[in-house]
Amino acid sequence: MDAIKKLRFKTSAGMMECKEALKESGGNVDKAVEILRKKGIVKAAKKAHRIAGQGLVESYIHMGNRIGVLVEVNCETDFVARNHDFKVFVKEVAMQVAAANPLYVARESIPADSVKKEKEIFSSQITGKPDNVAEKIVEGKLEKYFSEVCLLEQPFIKDPNIKIKDLITQLIAKIGENVVVKRFVRYELGEEF
C-alpha cells in the first residue's frame, strides 16, 4: 500500500495502473515509474519531493561576490519560520559557512571512509607511545578534526566560546520548537571541484 501511495504521488497515475506496474516491477517504485512511462501512461516523473517541514532557504554573498552560500534550515511550523530569532539564526549560519568553510553539517554526515582515513593518518603520526596513550591522542585529534569540518561543531564566528550546536540548543529553548540545519553549499569563485 505504501508503494502504491508513493507511486501515485510520483506519477499521478490511476490506482489500478499503479498496482499493475508495481506487480510487474516486483514492488520497486522507481522501476514502476519507468514501466508507466514506457507504456505512455506517465509523461515524465515529477521530481520527487514532499514538504518535510517548514523553515527558510537563505543565502549570503561575501567578498564582492567571490564567495556565496546557500543554506536550508528547518523548523516545525510556518509561524516559527517567520520568527525574528529564527531568521537571525539562519542568516548567522549562512555567514558561518562563508567564513569558516565547513564541509559537513554534522560528524554523522562524514563518509565512514573519510573518518577511517583520518584516523589512519593520525595514528601513523604517533610513534613510541603505549597503545592506550596513542588511542587517546588519536581521539583528541579526531575531535579537533570534527570541530574544523563539521558546521555544528565549529566555534561560532561571532562568539568562539560556543559551538553552532549550542546556538541551536539556545534557539530551541527560546522558541520551543525543533530546529535542524538541513544542508548548505558554499561556492568560492574559481575553485576547482
Task: Reduce the DSSP state of residue 34 to 3 states and report it.
Answer: helix
Strands (DSSP E) found in 115-158: 155-156
How far CA 49 is from CA of 45, 89, 113, 135, in Å, comes to: 11, 25, 29, 44
- Least distance to a copy of itself, CB of residue 193, Å: 8
Q: Which is nearer to a copy of itself, 65 or 132 (CB)?
A: 65
62 bridge partner residues: 67
Q: What's the rounded Cα separation, in Å, for the pair 69 and 47?
A: 24
Do 14 and 32 touch, CB atoms closer than 8 A? no
Cell of 80: 516559527
Do 8 and 15 touch, CB atoms closer than 8 A? yes
At a CB cut-off of 8 Å and minimum separation 6, what does 68 contact?
Answer: 59, 60, 61, 62, 98, 186, 187
Cell of 43: 509523461
- Identify the residue among 1, 52, 112, 173 touching a copy of itself (CB under 8 A): 52
Task: Reduce the DSSP state of residue 177 to 3 states and report it.
Answer: coil
Choose one: 13-21, 47-55, 129-137, 153-161; the region binding a copy of itself (CB under 8 A). 47-55
Q: Is 121 in the site for a copy of itself (CB under 8 A)?
A: yes
Q: Which is nearer to a copy of itself, 115 or 166 (CB)?
A: 115
- The site map against a copy of itself for 7-36 (x = CB under 8 A) is ---------------------------x--
- Least distance to a copy of itself, CB of residue 166, Å: 24
Q: Which is nearer to a copy of itself, 117 or 136 (CB)?
A: 117
- Identify the residue among 56, 105, 175, 181 touching a copy of itself (CB under 8 A): 56
- Least distance to a copy of itself, CB of residue 75, Å: 11
Q: Is 109 in the site for a copy of itself (CB under 8 A)?
A: no
- Identify the residue among 124, 128, 130, 161 touching a copy of itself (CB under 8 A): 124
Q: Which is nearer to a copy of itself, 74 or 154 (CB)?
A: 74
Q: What are phi and psi of 189, to 5 degrees?
A: -55, 125
By CB under 8 A, name the binding residues for a copy of itself.
34, 37-38, 40, 44, 47-61, 65-70, 72, 74, 81, 101, 117, 121, 124-125, 148, 183, 185, 187-193
